[in-house]
Structure 1
Amino acid sequence: MRISKGCGRCRHRHIRCVIPTGASTCTPCLRLGRACHLDPRFQFKPVHHVYQTNDGAPSRFKLDWDKEQVWVDVSHPVTFVLETKDGTAGDEGSALEQYNSSVLEQILHGRSGWTQGIHSENSYQAHAPTPIYKNRSRQDSINSPLSLLSDDEFTLTRREASLMRYFIQKLAPWADVCDIHSHFSTEVPRRALENKMVLQAILALSARHDAILANDSDWEASAYHGQCLQLLIAAIDQAETNCDENMLITVVILRIYEELENRTDQKFHLLGSNRLVNLITSSASSGGLAEAVSWQFLRQAIYASVVQYQPLQLDMQNYERSSMFHRDDDAACANRIIYYCARILQMCCEAPDYIVGQDTWRQISDSVKEWNQTKSTTWQPIRYQESSVAAGRPFPEVWMISPPAVVGMQYYHSACIFLTLSESQSVGITDYERARARRLKEKTIADHLVVVIGLSLSNESVENAYFMASHLLHRFGYCLRNVVEQEGSLQFLTQVEKVLGWRTSWMMRELEHQWAELAAFDSWNP
């Protein structure tokens, strides 16, 4: 056991940490007005061996855990809660639950007095976790602390400017893939320089993605996220008279932040975005930034429906009035098939056992076919090579001209998959015919799935295309029966995690288990 010396900030800056007797903050942090994070005075050091005297001779004894050692069983991920002086806990999760289930619910139904309790002593704003900031270098740590910008001094620190640029160059193109005006890369950063809430959302998202790629702690991102939540709750307090675009922008960006933790996605911001989009009924058809943000959220809702089996609760009539149905550019064409895909998912979840009535199914199926037949000739691949498992090429090569065409074709094949899944069977068929129909459905799904993955791999600069391929592979990867396709899928998921920071290791383990189990069933002998 050793005595810990100095707070984390002083150790990072390599300066002397002076802690007055009885003080809870060191002198350097107090002088700079920064939060001081003192470690517990005593820290335990792991001991792997000891020296003892045996018959007068010193001997080295190695310490090993016995195989029968009892360990504490932790069935869920461990979360750390910072307690306040009175012992009450104020964590990020409770704030999100409060913001989602209480505040937005009240807005949606227009109840009076719904702000009561938002700032109670157990709320996040009253007991927000003290931010811990991780800087990249000593110079950055001196010149680039995390700042809460004041009304009269709206200046970014060097770290904040780096995170803003990171958002513009790396993350905003994901949302702009079907937006001809690239609002997330242009207008959203401008809004951030005028609105603290939007800025904190951007900084939180950039910091989290940066930490994931660097395999670092995301304390910095959590601090930005907590500050953004405080501003968002304050904005929601005035939502009955001031429910503006900035709230919608913020919640949609926070949803991307939430999606990055796809293994334990709690979907707080998904529900919040859903309610705001439905509340601001003109957002999907108002043009400009609000419309672009609404279409981005539609893709987020599709993701949750595909991967997490969440029903689409959006009012799709808002999207039907959009300008996307009256324009001929590639972005509008892509958004139309995204809309059809969302409608199919919405119908599938509403129908029992994912079977849709024949008339309804035929109507939406005809819309998808018409879209495919009338799409621009520029959507034809400039190069196409079929897949060949015999040649070790599990996915086709499909070079497209524009990013919207890549994503649009992925959603077309996704729509075909869900149409196949929801198609009703004929009445009175035999058990064999039912089993045969099931196998045919799985083969059709697999054929569309390999094309979606091929579109992603063939157009690697369109990073957004990695997402839908990953979602479908997670949901329908079991349909891939060929070993070459399975190995190619695992290589693809490895590349996704490397490029996007989208954690896929757990998906790979699940797919390997599914393939092994199905292979055992297929080879079963009585």
Structure 2
Amino acid sequence: MDVMHAISHKTATLIPCESWLPRNHTVQQARALFMDSKFDVNESRDMYANYMVFLLARVCRLVYSGSLQQDEFEAEWIELYTELDRWWQDRPAEMHPVVSMFKDGTPFPSILFCVAPAISGTQMFHTAMILLIKYKTRVVRPLPTLAVDPVMRKSLIWHAKCVVGISLSNSDHGCLNNALQPLWVAGKLMSSKEEQHIIVQLLRDIENTTGWSTSWRIRDLQEHWSY
């Protein structure tokens, strides 16, 4: 909820990222905590998704706080960009989609997962990438060279369409609730009336299905689209 509030209000999380961790641990040590071998298979899957929530919190602090000097911003941006790539490349098998494809004549991909952590974790990954890419112009150094890097060089629009496609393809109620702010971030990048209509209908369906209010975000998107 803190991360969703941060995205909605374009601010850092109310609870500082360091306070999410045990005392005397830095954010750079967080990966080891979330990937601890003591977790069983189900716990490990949940914690892998939880780590993406933490990374998204760090991204919100970076892009919205405005408190860093240029060199500090650049160093943190590069660190997060590299860590997001690592999260993507190291995903366990159950975090991968069972279907990922664009169908002819449809603006959004079908991206189907078997487990809820994969749904929300991947959707938050794409949201974090959108926010990072939007603020990339402040990074003057060349991007880091990554060993396997097909997804990290994708466009804002590609990441945004994945955010929408994930919610269109997966009906888990908890994940649909988590999707409201990612859909707002992604929806602002959609320019065609067809894409916009699909997103509005999706948000209405989420409200009807889960009871979670989405109408206010529909109004925000329509205002952004100049309806």
Q: Aligned residue for 1:422? A: 135
1:403 equivalent to 2:111? Answer no
In 2, distance between residues paired with 1:421 and 1:456?
A: 22
Shift in CA distance, 447/492, structure 1 to aligned 2, threshold 3 Å: same
Q: Aligned residue for 2:166? A: 455
Q: Aligned residue for 1:349? A: 64
Shift in CA distance, 502/335, structure 1 to aligned 2, threshold 3 Å: same
Q: Aligned residue for 1:379? A: 95
In 1, distance between residues paired with 2:139 and 2:64?
A: 21
Q: Aligned residue for 1:437? A: none
Q: State the one-letter code of the partner of 1:497.
A: E
> Equivalent residue of 1:398, what SS?
strand
1:465 equivalent to 2:175? Answer yes
Could you tell me how far 1:465 is from its partner in structure 2?
A: 1.9
> Where is the helix percentage greater, Structure 1 or Structure 2?
2
**C-alpha distance after superposition, 1:364-406 (max 9, x if no partner):** 1111111111111222211222155xx1x23211111211111
Could you tell me how far 1:353 is from its partner in structure 2?
A: 9.9
1:330 equivalent to 2:59? Answer no
Identity %: 22
> Equivalent residue of 2:212, what SS?
coil
Could you tell me how far 1:347 is from its partner in structure 2?
A: 1.9
Alignment of 1:276-315 (within 5 A): 300-315=1-16
> Equivalent residue of 2:173, what SS?
coil
In 1, distance between residues paired with 2:203 and 2:129?
A: 22
In 2, distance between residues paired with 1:335 and 1:354?
A: 29
Shift in CA distance, 514/318, structure 1 to aligned 2, threshold 3 Å: closer
**C-alpha distance after superposition, 1:76-135 (max 9, x if no partner):** xxxxxxxxxxxxxxxxxxxxxxxxxxxxxxxxxxxxxxxxxxxxxxxxxxxxxxxxxxxx
Q: Aligned residue for 2:149? A: none
In 2, distance between residues paired with 1:468 and 1:459?
A: 12
Could you tell me how far 1:492 is from its partner in structure 2?
A: 0.2
Is the 1:394–1:488 Cα contact (8 Å) retained in structure 2?
no
| Corresponding pairs, count | 199
- Which of 1 and 2 has greater Rg? 1
Q: State the one-letter code of the partner of 1:423.
A: K
**C-alpha distance after superposition, 1:210-258 (max 9, x if no partner):** xxxxxxxxxxxxxxxxxxxxxxxxxxxxxxxxxxxxxxxxxxxxxxxxx
In 2, distance between residues paired with 1:354 and 1:404?
A: 35
Q: Aligned residue for 2:216? A: 506
Q: Which of these residues, 1, 7, 18, is aligned with residue 317 of structure 1?
A: 18
> Equivalent residue of 1:337, what SS?
helix
**Larger RCO: Structure 1 or Structure 2 (Cα < 8 Å, ≥ 6 residues apart)?**
2
Shift in CA distance, 337/369, structure 1 to aligned 2, threshold 3 Å: same
CA RMSD of aligned residues (A): 2.7
**C-alpha distance after superposition, 1:379-435 (max 9, x if no partner):** 2211222155xx1x23211111211111111111111112112223467xxxxxxxx
> Equivalent residue of 2:111, what SS?
strand
Shift in CA distance, 354/506, structure 1 to aligned 2, threshold 3 Å: farther
Is the 1:449–1:469 Cα contact (8 Å) retained in structure 2?
no
Q: State the one-letter code of the partner of 1:483.
A: K
In 1, distance between residues paired with 2:91 and 2:14?
A: 28
In 1, distance between residues paired with 2:20 and 2:139?
A: 34
Q: State the one-letter code of the partner of 2:156.
A: I
> Equivalent residue of 1:479, what SS?
coil
Q: Which of these residues, 189, 192, 195, is aligned with residue 482 of structure 1?
A: 192
Alignment of 1:183-222 (within 5 A): none
